[in-house]
Amino acid sequence: MDSLEEYEPHVTQELIDRGHARRMGHLENYFAVLRRQNMYSNFAVYGELNKAVSKRQLRLALRLLLLKYPILSHTIVPKKYPNHEAYYLSQEYLNKPFPQHDFIKVIPHLELEDLIMNSQSEYREVIGKISEQYKNDNFKVTSSLIELVAPIIVPACDPERPNWRLICLPSRDTSAGEAWTNFVYVSNHCGSDGISGTNFFQDLTALLSTIEENGFDYEEEIVDNNVIIDYNEDHKEISKLPISITDRIDYKPRLTSLPKFFLKNIVSEYCEFRTSNESTVTSRYSPSSNANAGFNHLLHFSAEDTQQIRSEIKKKVHAGCTITPFIQACFFVALYRHDKVFTKSFLEYGFDVALPSSTRRFLPNDEELRDSYKYGANVGGSHYTYLISSFNVPEGDANKFWRLVEYYHDCFLKSYDNGDHLIGLGTLQLDFIVQNKNVDQIISTTYLDHQRGGAIISNTGFVRQDTTKPYYARDLIFSQSAGALRFAFGLNVCSTNVGGMNMDMSVVQGTLRNRGEWESFCDVFYHAIGEFASLGCDTAVAGLV
């Protein structure tokens, strides 16, 4: 059992007593495993604000944000620092269990340059490419830009920087000096999720609005240097780290549910869609390889079209049905119609789909407590296999399509009641696993060196903007890399009442023959949305980015 002494002087009893250091929970450790075993790069949320933010405003807003939500200023304190990277990949580590997880703590000193990737020398080359691409694309976020951001690695155990960064994209108007309207929140998923990313822009714009409305009443907070947090001076103002969500919510499944879970996994290995190209095999990230690379395609629907889609869903299914099962059904129908994905062999009868969602909904109904979990990797999700034959919906057969939408919606709701929503991640948290097995080894063996299959569909939801405020987000885009998570396809969705709905679609290279075939599939998918939401073909074509 690890003792505190192993982590000193980086973690002290004083930090723990103040609530500014603690052990990671099981779910936090899962995402730490993905990063320390080099199996995941990042997710990103692209935010366009309605007007420019100066460096001075940004510094103050970030300070106020990090004081209130210290999970945004945390780092992971590993074993064997500074030789931790080699240690976690060694047999010395992987051959024995570690029931107690590593610590997280508030970083003692943060400056604005520690958060802004543009200022960091190790990212200079990729930031240069990103800035040039953004300018070449007429200062718009495109799939080409997303593909440049996707492989960026944010280290998980940097003692001086947190597990996320902010990219400031170039401004069309250069007369304002250091001021930006477009940002990219990039996270390695440690202590953060897609909801955290959209919350970041919600809180950032709210704080910027408050600062402007108050005429910089926070003047005493603004200093001439770039310091965001100085722990020695600020520790009394920093909120306590919330306890891990797995100490609030029990993810662990009932033992009686395990036989069905393991049987499903066995069947999925042999009877579901699987890629066959050597380039689609899951692998660790390395600087010299093109591991887990994908093609992206960004789709956009205006706010009016998004409302039309929602209205059509509620009219054709019921008022409680959401947009995610509609997107899922359109995606499945497009896969079948495209006729380039499935081999239609005897053993390929199922297609696997994971639908992550926030587990914050299971927290006690306490506003202050729920607010403390606004940031963090607080996710669960359903993971089901569906018959490929059911995706065959001929054009004009709207009734069959809407029955699928209702069925997918019901499946997702039932996953909350029957425990399927938590069983995948919860199984890794069972006592007999944690106490007797090395979790890194289990996850690595399960994920690495396998062909891919299925899709992960993530919807961060509808993020309402108050356009009467000085600052708000005009547009939000959510994207994430495939990593070694064994999914061939990815679909990431985010919507606002201003910019409408954006979908970042991705496919691991080699799943389809080439980018042209991928673009063709995206066109089929987009037309399926237009068909079933009664948008019209012209709208669908106009939305391709």
Same domain, 310 and 191: no
Tell me the longest C-alpha to C-alpha distance in the chain. 70
Same-domain status, 348 and 430: yes
Is 276 contained in some domain? Answer: no
What pLDDT tens digit does each residue of the chain (545 aa) get?
578 999 999 999 999 999 999 999 999 999 999 999 999 999 999 999 999 999 999 999 999 999 999 999 999 999 999 999 999 999 999 999 999 999 999 999 999 999 999 999 999 999 999 999 999 999 999 999 999 999 999 999 999 999 999 999 999 887 767 899 999 999 999 999 999 999 999 999 999 999 999 875 555 555 557 899 999 999 999 999 999 999 999 999 998 888 888 888 887 788 899 999 999 999 999 877 788 999 999 999 999 999 999 999 999 999 999 999 999 999 999 999 999 999 878 789 999 999 999 999 999 999 999 999 999 999 999 999 999 999 999 988 999 999 999 999 999 999 998 889 999 999 999 999 999 999 999 999 999 999 999 999 999 999 999 999 999 999 999 999 999 999 999 999 999 999 999 999 999 999 999 999 999 999 999 999 999 999 975 544 444 45
> Is residue 527 a part of any domain in this protein?
yes
Domain at 328, CATH number: 3.30.559.30
Specify whether 330 is located in the same domain as 467.
yes
Residue by residue, DSSP assigns 373-408 as: TSSS--EEEEEEEEEGGGG---TT-HHHHHHHHHHH
Boundary of a domain, candidates 222, 238, 254:
238
Does any domain span residue 249? Answer: no
The verdict on residue 497 lying in a domain is yes
315 and 210 in a common domain: no
Look at residue 257 and tell me if it is in a domain.
no
Active site residue 193: yes
pTM listed for this prediction: 0.96
419 in a domain, yes or no?
Answer: yes
Residue 49 lies in a domain: yes
Rg (CA), the chain: 23
Q: Are 364 and 501 in the same domain?
A: yes
Catalytic residue among 74, 102, 114, 193: 193
- Domain stop point among 214, 238, 262: 238
Statement to judge: residues 218 and 302 lie in one domain:
no
What is the span of the domain harbouring residue 25?
4-238
Number of domains in the chain: 2
Write down the catalytic residue from 74, 84, 101, 189: 189
Q: In the annotation, is 217 catalytic?
A: no
Same domain for 497 and 409: yes
- 338, two tokens: 């495209």
Q: 525 in helix, strand or coil?
A: helix
Exposed/middle/buried for residue 331 (C-beta within 10 Å: 0-12, 13-18, 19+): buried
Q: Is residue 272 part of a domain?
A: no
Domain of residue 116, CATH code:
3.30.559.10
344 and 197 fall within a common domain: no
One domain for residues 486 and 377: yes
Q: Pick from 206, 238, 270: which residue ends a domain?
A: 238
Same domain, 219 and 328: no
Quick one: 348 and 232 in the same domain?
no
Per DSSP, the three-state class of 436 is: coil
